Structure 1
Amino acid sequence: MKKKIITLIFIILAAVAVYSGRQLLQKRKAEIENLPLPLVKKLRVDLAYAKEGRLEDKEKFLAQIKAKKSIKLSTKLAGYIKRVYVDESDFVNKNQTLVEIDKEEILLNIKALDSAIMAQRSDLAFAKEVYRRNLKLYRAGALAKEKLDASKVALKAKESSLKNSIAKKNQLKHQLNYLKIRAPFSGYIEAILLHEGDLAAVGRPIIAMYNGKKKVLFSFSPKRSPIEPSLKVLQNNEVIGYIDRIYPTAKNALAVAEVKLTKDIPLPLGSNLEIEVVTKEATGCIVPNNALLHKKDGTYIVVYKDKKFHLRRVEVLFSSDSYTLLKECIKEPFAVANETKLAKLLVYKNVEVNNEQ
């Protein structure tokens, strides 16, 4: 009897639970049906038009300013520096004296040679007199031929000694010119490497100077950058020159190009600067880079025609940082946005065109 009562109670509770659950489910369903529909977010996009123009493809490089022509001057004769006539950054003319090296030692040698030459001239005069006397005696039969020949040899020796001494003196006088270091061309003093009182050794640089003209050098990888002579070079979007030559020797495994400047750069030698080389340039139809939609089968532009967006396949000639040159121009307006938004325009219904004409 008790088991029947307990079973009946469980049946009643289960029925109540099922009924309550059904009522709650119907109530929640009604609430959901009465909820307002969510608002569809509006997609906004700008339109643009292609334009005819000239497009340049540029590559950036870090370059350095160098002297177009420079030289380090040294002496042919060692000696102590007596005077330096110039300072750094001074402008000097060709053949202007820059440095004077002490010449006292050479002057003493010249003075000693002068004394030797005077003595040799006296010896030569005496040797000539002896030879003339011996020649008279020989002709008179009073002197042997051997003694005449001996006096003649002595005369020739004196003449040779005198000539050698005079040649040495002239050589020393010529060497005096080496003790004054002159500018080989007009230009500016770049650096003074030795000063008054320093010993100037042969081949040791004393002064560095350049001709006042500058050039720009930069390194590049030939495999990655199509650099060649005559390409335009820009700085801050202004033409400063063109590539003059490519050096035959690499530096740090990179090719080196020289830029011939057509505009003065007010920076000192050794300064670094950022330049741009125009590697390509052409005239044609130009569109912004953010108008392109790249797909597996090609490049497209999303044109706006008859209040709808359509894909238009295009052929790209080349692109710069901001613009692209197309082979054929697009007459219709087209959307400009990131590629994710451009792809949505083809399927999105709620689109607002900001600058529709």
Structure 2
Amino acid sequence: MYMKKIAYFSLALALTACGGKTQMPEQSNDFTVETVRTAEADVNTSYPATIRGIQDIEIRPKIAGHITKVLVDEGDFVRAGQPMFLIDRVQYEAAVKSAEANIKVMQSNISTQELTVENKRKLYEKQIISKYDYDIAQNQLQAFKAQLAQSRAALTDAKNNLSYCTITSPSNGVVGTIPFRVGSLVSSASAEPLTTVSNISKVYVYFSMTEKQLLDLTRESGGIEKAIEAMPAINLVLADGSQYSQQGHITAVSGVIDQNTGAVQMRATFDNAGLILRSGGTGSILIPTHSDNAILIPQKATYDIQNKKFVYIVNQNNTVDSREIQVMTQNDGKSYIVTSGLKAGERIVTEGVNQLKKGMKINPITPQQAEKNRAKANQDLKDGKMPGEK
């Protein structure tokens, strides 16, 4: 076989040296052509999304004071009522004792004034004192009773403040960032919360679709509520590209269209029993759509010019013409779903489009014939035959 190839090469040199022209194999004008047809297709439309717990609760102190203990760490799972922070109790314990003492003082004053009123009453009945003096004594008793009520309210307030020295979790959830440490002075006016507790047993996933997409969806279903009910289960793709194991459902649509983006925010709900999803995470929502009459073409049948997609249409006389098409962004990596620019029954070139030019005449062949030609060429190569050799 090696000697055979040398012979061909020597013959080519001899023809060139004699001024003759080397006979090169003609380039094939065969191109694979397929007829555009409609078919059923399932396509996932992707939307960027952000993840939030069903409850993202800021933990803030109700009183001012220095933190004496931090009882949880970032990322811990906490239950409702579990202590998280301790604030210095000294001044609030003193306030409770002071309020308790005031109550005793008021109770003593009332007891004394009750005796005074009783004494004044007897004197008044004997007309030893005037009614004015008797009324003054009664009014003073009522004042002491009012002061006792105030002291009791102050005691309740002081006890509440003392209880606020232990800051507990309002719900089950995961602890967020803790910007404060032991010794930090905090108050209800602090700009930052002590931390955040996110209830992520379920999560809300927020995403947006365009106003037009929402109108199309609403029009097809007959209203927002019906559209939500009719929506299929949706999938969530995580930041690492993996697909979350649980499917979710769209549960709410915002009633306001963002004037800056022209988009409408939507909310989906996913179960998160394994606590894999965390509040603040990102991902993509995949909404499946089904089409009974989709036009699918191979991706290799297209070429790009300035971010626009084109195909070569084969006319009746087998000349090709370039045409721009629109395709869905989502695809399976092999085919495109054409949304405009093509219709069923038209013929397009599906292989070798980079070799074509507008107006070029071709010899259309079927994909089956193209496969046979490739198989024959591969066999000829194995047999050591030159291109075009019989």
Q: 1:195 to 1:150 in 2, by over 3 A?
A: same
Distance 1:251 1:71 in 2: 29
Deviations 1:204-234 (A, max 9, x none): 2112111124444456775899997758556
Matched residue, 2:41: 54
Whether the 8 Å CA contact 1:247–1:255 is kept in 2: the answer is no
> What is the percentage of aligned positions where both structures have the same residue?
20
Number of residue pairs aligned between Structure 1 and Structure 2: 317
Distance 1:170 1:202 in 2: 19
Distance 2:256 2:179 in 1: 31
**How many angstroms does 1:252 deviate by?**
7.4
* Equivalent in 279, 286, 298 of residue 296 of structure 2: 286
Whether the 8 Å CA contact 2:198–2:279 is kept in 1: the answer is no
Whether the 8 Å CA contact 1:103–1:179 is kept in 2: the answer is yes
Whether the 8 Å CA contact 2:296–2:337 is kept in 1: the answer is yes
Q: 1:288 to 1:126 in 2, by over 3 A?
A: same
Deviations 1:283-307 (A, max 9, x none): 235332444799xxx9875499xxx
Whether the 8 Å CA contact 1:94–1:182 is kept in 2: the answer is yes
Whether the 8 Å CA contact 1:241–1:259 is kept in 2: the answer is no
Q: Considering only aligned residues, what root-mean-square deviation do their CA atoms show, in Å?
A: 4.7
Larger CA deviation: 123-132 vs 139-148: 139-148
Deviations 1:102-125 (A, max 9, x none): 222122122123233223322221
Matches for 1:170-189 after TM superposition, within 5 Å: 170-189=156-175
Distance 1:329 1:227 in 2: 24
| Amino acid of the structure 2 residue aligned with 1:169 | L
* Equivalent in 336, 346, 350 of residue 350 of structure 2: 336
* Equivalent in 334, 337, 345 of residue 324 of structure 1: 337
| Amino acid of the structure 2 residue aligned with 1:286 | L
TM-score, structure 1 as length reference: 0.67
Q: 1:241 to 1:342 in 2, by over 3 A?
A: farther
**How many angstroms does 1:54 deviate by?**
0.7
| Amino acid of the structure 2 residue aligned with 1:354 | A
Matched residue, 1:28: none
Matched residue, 1:245: 253
1:354 matched to 2:381: no
Larger CA deviation: 113-122 vs 103-112: 113-122
Distance 1:329 1:114 in 2: 89
Deviations 1:147-185 (A, max 9, x none): 222222222222222222222112212333333222222
The secondary structure found in structure 1 opposite 2:162 is helix
Q: 1:276 to 1:226 in 2, by over 3 A?
A: farther
What 5-or-longer segments of structure 1 have no aligned partner? 1-30
Deviations 1:254-305 (A, max 9, x none): 74644525476946554454x36558641235332444799xxx9875499x
Whether the 8 Å CA contact 2:206–2:267 is kept in 1: the answer is yes
Whether the 8 Å CA contact 2:253–2:267 is kept in 1: the answer is yes
Q: 1:162 to 1:310 in 2, by over 3 A?
A: same
Deviations 1:125-148 (A, max 9, x none): 121112111211221233332322
Deviations 1:176-211 (A, max 9, x none): 333322222211111223222211211321121111
Matches for 1:1-357 after TM superposition, within 5 Å: 35=21, 39-46=25-32, 52-56=39-43, 58=45, 62-204=48-190, 205-212=193-200, 213-217=202-206, 230=231, 232=234, 235=237, 241=248, 244-246=252-254, 248=256, 250=258, 255=263, 257-260=265-268, 262=270, 266=276, 268-273=278-283, 275=284, 277-278=286-287, 281-284=290-293, 286-291=296-301, 302=314, 319=328, 321=331, 322-324=335-337, 335-339=349-353, 341=355, 347-348=361-362, 353-355=369-371
Distance 2:68 2:62 in 1: 15
| Amino acid of the structure 2 residue aligned with 1:209 | V
**How many angstroms does 1:336 deviate by?**
1.6
- Tell me which structure has the larger Cα radius of gyration: 1
